[in-house]
Structure 1
Amino acid sequence: MRSAQAGVFCSGLPFCFLGVRVVSSLLRTYLFLQKSIRTAPDPDPASGPDVSRTFSRLAIDVILSAPGLKRRDGQLRMAETVAQVLAGERPERAAAVEAGTGTGKSLAYLVPVMLYCVREGRRAVVATGTKNLQEQLATKDAPFAAELVEKATGKSPTFAVVYGRANYLCPALLEERLAELEGKKDRRGREGQELEFLRAVVEWWRKGGSGLRDSLPSEPPEESWWLRVSADDDGADCRECRKTGCPFARAREAASTAHVVITNHHLVAADWKVRQVAGLSLFAGRGDVLPSVLVIDEAHDFLDALRSSLSVSFTAGRVKRLETDIRSLVKDLESLVEDAEEERREGNGKGSPGLQASRGAREGLCVGVGEGEDLWKRLEDLFACAEEFRRQRKAEALLLFPPPLFDSAGSLLPLLQSRFSSLLDYADWLFSVSPVDGKERKKFERKLERFRERLLEVSEAFRRAVLLERHYRTYGPPGDACWYEENRFCAVPVDVSRQARDLWSDYRHVVLTSATLFPFPQSEGFSWFREAYGFEEGEIALGILPSLFDYGKQMRAYILARPELEPEESRKGKDGNGEDRAEHLAESLLELVNGVSGGVLALFTSYQEMRRVASLVKPRLPKDRLLLIQGEAGRYELLQRFKEHGRGVLLGVSSFWQGVDVPGEALSAVFIARIPFPHPEDPVVEALTFLAGREWFVKVSRPIAALTLRQGIGRLIRTEDDTGVVVIADPRAAGKHRRLVESCLPVEPEVKSR
């Protein structure tokens, strides 16, 4: 058994990092600093609470009081640091803690946060990157932590869960969509099938269904059918929702007074935007106490979520949907006005100026039909032109740079705005002469207001994604990376450190944690983190906790340095090509498969290479093996089959580099096809690279590759009983990038040239 080790926390020392074991070579990036944790002996339960204890000491004692819980010094060190930050026992107001698998980080932040909330009357938000971790916190970790805190203080912390909006049914949209489909004469084909699905949803909802996506009586044949009636749809008005029993509103109401709100990264970003625009919060009602503590778990993914929340996309479908929705409202208002006029005519035999004005307004609107047709024709030309450019360049995403690709694009926006302003003005007038009152009047009023908001959103998307008004090449680092793909124009901010800093400022204390938080476990990695996440030196404590695993006994690592495995971009005139490399990769993968008894996870950086290797491996794979390939089924299904089979070979890209948790022999080896440097054609990577200038490799490629590689390697050892092999099939890992690769491996790799 190894001696206990604890991580070092600091806010500005030149070297303050810790790995899993002492190593002999100074070239190794992980240095293992011996440091005993500053904790007193286990408390005596019979002695009662000691009011003289510091808050951090109390947090540690609460964790130690848990019956049957194995003592983990890394967990206690993290709990101590979080508690010190919350209680002001150290100068920093924030902490970022890298805590590997098995550390028990959930309890390490939940206990001090819950203690702080019940003692100080505060509230907290805990956000994760995945729904799986949300559910684990809600069903296991939070109840356990709350029980420990109640036992120690006599006060019971409360917690509530708020999922992403796409997980919740919007009853108002369900009613509208159902009425729309039922009003159509022709119910054959897809719309008829959608109608059947929605009727089943209505029946489920009326019989007490939860309104959550995971609880649906059956899977929607098409995901868009659910999204159209979810709280994440454009038409959902969650901010002003008045629908009785609305699932998302219920979740928000429960969260508004809970000590701890368990949610996801995207809702934290959305909440920040709501606070900025409307002065409201998704996690508190009007007059309720706002959360003052924010915990971000799986924080390595948070900036992507923040960037996503600030992104925009422009599609023709979105514009058509807006017109359809407005026209539907107009039709309802016209019917109301017509009915009221008919009643008036029956009463006195005369019509009113209102009806004549209504007819005149309709005639005026019809005059603009040609203008509308011109709008749709020009939109069609815009997308056709972009698609042709994309095909010519044989790119999945067509990068866009100023000036705009289309000379006439600038005149499209006034045309679009004029068209919709006319429609909305007519709807406003109808509303003004309609007989609706009370709740119905407020409903129509809010719908009109929401349509104008949607028009502003579409206009902003056009400006940023098509006209490139905030492009980073003219706007600087806070500007957008812009591209076209799959019938949509997209824009996303490049550097979100300023927005992250604004978001942190909404909270008194911030805690960020992940199993892989820093690209490098040293001062260089800490500096990169502070800059990317928008923290000043001195305001955040940074540290890496030791792993529970004895990697020297549990893991072996190999680098395949055969020249034929060198990636094509590094060959520079050498013999061979991508097809040759795929064949050698397949041979190397099969050699690994035949050399281990359990499952193998093979990680790639491109679909093309993965599919080529899969086609070569498939006919030669032993019959007792199961080949699973990303794209042939959903991620969840692939992982379930991989776990259950026990001897599967799973090939994946991107999302499979992280979040794969398969303990035991079912995952005995990880095969890495190449060092995961980011693709230069990725829009955000291209922008970051351009802005970094000559330092592009140090500031962009190297940190991204290191974080991804550490995530991939981390898929192997998930418990103290796991053993396995990591194979990196990239000769560069033994050459010019050896130092990078070794900094990501917890063991010394063996290089194989043959």
Structure 2
Amino acid sequence: MDISNQIIGSFSQNVSSFYNSNPRKSQVEIALDVANFLFNSPKRIMFIEAPVGIGKTLGVLIPSILYSRLQRSQITYATATKNLQDQIFDSDLPDLKRMQILGDEKKVLAMGKENYFCIVNYQNNREKFKTSQRAVDIGMAIDKCYTGLRKELDQVLKNASKEETTDHEWDILKIKSDQRKCKLNYCPGHEYRNSFQKHPFITVTNHSQLIQTRINIDNKIPGIVSVYPGLVIIDEAHLFNDNYLSCAQEQLSIEDFKKISHFAKDNLRLKKAATQIKKKLIKLSKQKYGLQTRHTLVYEDRVNLSIIREELIKEESFDTNRNGEVNVGGQVDELVGSIYKILDTNNYISWITSDNGEKIQFVTKNIFDDFEKLIKELSAYNKIIFMSGTLTSTNNSEEEIKSIWGISNFEYKSYESPFSPENQIYLCLPKEGFKVTRNKDRMVQPIVINCIQPICRQIKGGVLILSNSLELKDKIRKDIGNTYENRNVFSQGDDNVNELSKKFKRDKSSILIASGSFKTGFSVKGEALQAVVITSLPFPVKDDPFIELKVSEYCKRLKMTPTEDNKFKISYDIMLHDLEQSIGRLIRDMGDYGVIYITDSRIYGRNNYGANLQRWFLDKGYVIHNNLMELSNFMANAKNKIHRHIQQYNKENNLNKLKNIPQITYSPSNRSKLNRTFILKKK
């Protein structure tokens, strides 16, 4: 079988007829490169760096489906965000079926527990719904559900002319994090989740579930999704490392310290130490704003933790070995073991987190080595494709991957963007008037008067304001209110991320003030988004304990002496990754255009990074403006310029221009002898 011809045929016939347009050469090149890696290369890992708009999703999925079908294996496709998960499962896979590239093979959408309902939760809480009729309506809708997903339940309600579930109603229905298997055999949510391990042809999941399954297997705990399907595709791969941290970190919550107080009984020394820690956690959780959400444990905290550990060991009569480690046994052995790790500063790093509950979190200092181990274990039993538009930030991408990811034997392919920054983006970097300061009140008026107001008066479409500071976000919202310049204003926190995204997309002239969740995975095409305002350069917080570990580790891997200058270079590269993600929200399609405005005059300050950043923009094809005087003219002429660019691009990227087609063939005798059942038993 000639795989190359089959792939080219899929694009020239199936894809082109479905979209009623000629396939792009760049998209076919991705598909051929992926097929060459899957069928010909002995390497187990491939990195694809391809910008938005090039069509990398179909470019990767089409050869992957063909490969997995011939190999009689499966695909696990992991993303970082719910938005992309939904897009893959609800849009891309159905489109591939309509193209007759994908058949009736089983596909599952594997999300977190809280996205599915449990019938028992409904049955035990009928009286908590607003009215008895509402409980009946939801019950009738539940009977028609197959997956137990909230969006499926909402669609059934909508089809019956009923209101979709409210957040309160979903809190009643959803599977709780500590909820085990359902006692009923016909619970859609639990039954559907049980199917994740029954080898569906395609599993669309997220980074966290893939990582957690691998961690669970190491700890002899049942997994969530298949980590040995034969082929693993990791999209939004630039976030995979951070998501590994989220899964690998352990924690002690305020509830744990309440348990300690319970064990204290008449032990006043123990009770006092536990109370001091509880007070510290509560104090930081009430601290609404701040430069960081991870706070270093101070000497007093460690003294109190040491007292708690010492007194608990006395209370429970624990045995310890020569290193002071607890020999497991007793009711609070996990608490004592966790405290031991927190106090072990040679091997663990810990912090108090203040943005997501009251807790102390900790992780091994070998986390980057463990991350490497995870990838190597996955690649031992699967081929892995990592894909992203912003994998690297240096000119030597392969060396950067080798150093940062700790992988030496891999394929790397990068592709040019189909977009034209010169014609599609009006980049404004003001020379003065925007001082970044801890006093957020001083920043609000310049941003509103000199940036947001003139932008709203010169463009028709939506405006996204991205702030690195929650305090600044809230102060901007307070200043401009719920409506501004005849536009509706939404702010992160008004509603959940999905609902807020829908409202912003529907209202094509609205303003959305947001932070982290909207910097990646947020995709709005057309006039609904024509301006992105970035309130400051997104440098990582210098004193964040984990950032300190990350910067030091990267210095070591890049063989750089950990001087202040070198540490800043690493922080600068981290900032560039974040900045590129934020900028990438504006242009999601070849017809999109608008303005990027960075309200940070440090770009022109007395520093080297400002000049470097300007060169970085120029090298990417941007034209730098220092004010908005030419914005109206740019917006008026953008469509014509983009039209000419698209014509030229399509001419140069016609399938007839395809060269250096790899020879990829397949015969049944070449089918992998990989025996998944054997591997699972072996693991």
TM over 0.5: yes
Q: What's the secondary structure of 2:203's corresponding residue?
A: strand
Specify which of 590, 604, 607 is matched with residue 470 of structure 2.
Answer: 607
CA distance in 1, matches of 2:132, 2:259: 21
Shift of residue 77, structure 1, vs aligned partner: 1.6
CA contact (8 A) 2:237 2:388 kept: yes
- AA paired with 2:231? V
Shift in alpha-carbon separation, 1:85–1:243, aligned structure 2, 3 A? farther
Equivalent pair of 1:162/1:252 in contact (CA under 8 Å): no
Which residue number in structure 1 is paired with residue 583 of structure 2?
713
Structure 1 residues 114 and 686, CA, compared in 2 at 3 Å: closer, same or farther? Answer: same
Is 2:74–2:231's contact at 8 Å kept on the other side of the alignment? yes
User: Once structures 1 and 2 are overlaid, which stretch shifts more, 141-150 or 629-638?
Assistant: 141-150
Judge conservation of contact 1:174–1:198 (CA < 8 Å) in 2.
no
**Residue of structure 1 aligned with 2:165, choices 218, 232, 245:** 218
Match of 1:104 among 39, 51, 55: 55
Q: Counterpart in 1 of 2:11?
A: 63
Percent identical residues: 21
Distance 1:578 1:270, change over 3 A: closer
Q: What is the correspondence of 1:206-355 to structure 2 with a 5 Å cutoff?
A: 207=143, 209=145, 210-214=147-151, 215=153, 218-221=165-168, 229-230=175-176, 232-233=177-178, 236-237=179-180, 244-245=185-186, 247-253=189-195, 255-278=197-220, 281-284=223-226, 290-317=228-255
Which residue, out of 726, 738, 748, partners 2:596? Answer: 726
| Closer/same/farther in 2, CA of residues 196 and 393 from structure 1, 3 Å limit | closer
Counterpart in 2 of 1:382? 277
1:483 and 2:355 matched: no
CA contact (8 A) 1:600 1:669 kept: yes
2:448 equivalent to 1:586: yes
The equivalent residue for 1:498 is: 369
2:440–2:471 Cα contact (<8 Å) kept: no
Task: Tell me if 1:750 matches 2:621.
Answer: no
User: What residue is the counterpart of 2:494 in the other structure?
Assistant: 632
Alignment partner for residue 512 of structure 1, among 365, 386, 404? 386
2 CA distance for matches of 1:413 and 1:119?
A: 57
Tell me what 2:611 maps to: 738
Residue 717 of structure 1: how far off its partner (Å): 1.5
After superposition, residues 675-714 of structure 1 pair within 5 angstroms as: 675-689=537-551, 692=555, 693-694=562-563, 696-697=566-567, 700-714=570-584
Amino acid at match of 2:525: P
Report the Cα offset of residue 660 of structure 1.
2.5
CA distance in 2, matches of 1:253, 1:322: 39
Question: Counterparts of 2:245 and 2:296 in 1: how far apart (Å)?
Answer: 18
Q: CA RMSD in A?
A: 4.2
What code does the residue aligned with 2:358 have?
Answer: N
Which residue in the other structure is 1:83 paired with?
A: 35
Stretches of structure 1 lacking an aligned partner (at least 5 in a row): 1-50, 325-367, 423-451, 570-576
Quickly say closer, same or farther: Cα 1:391–1:749, change in 2 above 3 A: same
1:420–1:62 Cα change, 3 Å: farther
1:167 maps to which of 108, 115, 137: 115
| 1:236-276 alpha-carbon deviations (Å, 9 max, x no partner) | 346xx886345345333255222221111111011111221
TM-score (norm 2): 0.74
SS of 1:552's partner is helix
| Distance in 1 separating the partners of 2:183 and 2:211 | 23
> How many angstroms does 1:560 deviate by?
0.5
Residue 321 of structure 2 corresponds to none
Q: Structure 1 residue 561: deviation in Å? A: 0.6
Query: Shift of residue 680 of structure 1?
Result: 2.2
The alpha carbon displacement at 1:510 in A equals 0.8
Query: Relative to structure 1, is the Cα distance of residues 579 and 548 closer, same or farther in structure 2, using a 3 angstrom cutoff?
Result: same
Q: Shift in Å at residue 278 of structure 1?
A: 1.8
Question: How far apart in 2 are the matches of 1:412 and 1:198?
Answer: 50
How far has the Cα of 1:127 moved from its partner?
0.7
Q: Which residue of 2 aligns with 1:597?
A: 460
Unaligned runs of 5+ in 2: 155-163, 319-328, 556-561, 629-683
Q: How many angstroms apart in 2 are the aligned matches of 1:276 and 1:201?
A: 44
State whether structure 2 residue 535 is matched by structure 1 residue 667: no
1:173 and 1:418, CA in 2 relative to 1: closer, same or farther beyond 3 A?
A: farther
Contact conserved, 2:122 with 2:172, CA < 8 A, in 1? no
Contact 1:400 1:483 in 2 (8 A): yes
Return the letter of the residue paired with 1:114.
I
Aligned residue number for residue 677 of structure 2: none
Q: Which segment is superposed worse, 399-408 or 134-143?
A: 399-408
Contact 2:424 2:593 in 1 (8 A): yes
Which residue is 1:26 aligned to? none
Three-state SS of the structure 2 residue aligned to 1:141 is helix
1:740 partner letter = L
The alpha carbon displacement at 1:631 in A equals 2.7
Give the number of the structure whose alpha-carbon radius of gyration is greater: 1
Q: Alignment partner of 1:726: what SS?
A: strand
- Which amino acid in 2 is paired with 1:266? S
CA displacement at 1:389 relative to structure 2: 7.8
Match in the other structure for 1:126? 77
Query: Which SS does the other structure have where 2:423 is aligned?
Result: helix
| Higher mean displacement: 404-413 or 89-98 | 404-413
**Pair 687,78 (structure 1): closer, same or farther in 2 beyond 3 Å:** same
Give the length in aligned residue pairs: 584
Query: 1:218 aligns to what SS in structure 2?
Result: coil
Taking structure 1 as the reference length, the TM-score comes to: 0.67
Work out the CA distance in 2 between the residues paired with 1:202 and 1:644.
26
585 and 700 in structure 1: CA distance in 2 versus 1, 3 angstrom threshold: same
**Contact kept? 1:59, 1:79, Cα under 8 Å:** yes
Helix, strand or coil for the counterpart of 2:429?
strand
Which segment drifts farther, 395-404 or 697-706? 395-404
* Bigger mean CA offset, 57-66 vs 706-715: 57-66
Cα deviation 1:312-349 (Å, max 9, x = unaligned): 2212325769999xxxxxxxxxxxxxxxxxxxxxxxxx
| C-alpha distance after superposition, 1:682-738 (max 9, x if no partner) | 342233345543255455311221111111111112222222121222223345323
Query: One-letter code of the match for 1:250?
Result: Y
Letter in 2 for 1:517: L
